[in-house]
Amino acid sequence: MAFQDRSGQQVPSVVFHTRKGDAWVDVSTDDLFKGKTVAVFSLPGAFTPTCSSTHLPRYNELAKEFYARGVDSILCVSVNDTFVMNAWLADQEAENIIVVPDGNGDFTKGMGMLVSKDQLGFGDRSWRYSMLVKDGKIEKMFIEPEKEGDPFEVSDADTMLKYIDPNWKSQESISIFTKPGCSFCAKAKQLLQEKGLDYEEIVLGKDATTTSVRAITGKTSAPQVFIGGKYIGGSEELEAYLAK
């Protein structure tokens, strides 16, 4: 099927049945879009591989960059029920994303993005796409090409940010292994924060063990910092690297 670029049109008027705590809460498209600038990405399903490993995590990682450029919220729409979406959000620890359970597919159908995934046992799901919406009006859509499988080429967070700000450049990804109560770890994190650099913290004893850091670096000390796929070292090496 040929997907229609709906840029310039209003988003479909839909009420989503969501679960917050022990209560049902109906959320309308007006609640989500009226008077706001919203980045939306839609995907085939919660807990599915690309959605969990790349699509949602990258939007969550770059949320501050979106906010700094006038985006009020980031929505993830999927044809899943609210219990599944809430469980996925908790599993992903994606505190910057609002998940929207389009359980009946009404919003996705209104967008012309409902597709059959019967061959996978999924039933009807959303084609992968993203869009920038201002006060309920779609300014720009990025629709994945119609290919076999599940293409993921244009609906990513980086593409959306570059549309919003053509001068935006991606920061190299940073990971830091730390230990609780480690003063050198605190120093390393402070150095990164002073430079305005976002990072992912891997806490030894919680997120990984010393076996992992030894296997990667040959050391068991903390912190151990990686930037853009390059091993930097501890806090002193990080300080020297950032001073260049």
pLDDT at position 119 is 87
Here the tokens at position 74 are 């980031």
pLDDT of the residue at 2 = 79
The pLDDT value recorded for residue 55 is 97
79-91 pLDDT per residue, tens: 999 999 999 999 9
The pLDDT of residue 244 is above 90: no
Beta strands in 30-188 (DSSP E): 37-42, 73-78, 98-101, 114-116, 124-126, 129-134, 137-143, 174-178
Verify whether residue 51 is a known catalytic residue: yes
Residue 171 has what pLDDT? 87
139 touches 38 (CB < 8 A): no
- How confident is the model over 194-216, as a mean pLDDT? 93
The mean pLDDT of 35-53, rounded to a whole number, is: 96
Q: What is the pTM of this model?
A: 0.85
Q: Which of 51, 76, 182, 185 is catalytic?
A: 51
Over residues 63-72, the mean pLDDT reads 96
pLDDT tier at 235, thresholds 50, 70, 90 = very high
Tell me the pLDDT band of 1, cut-offs 50, 70 and 90. Answer: low
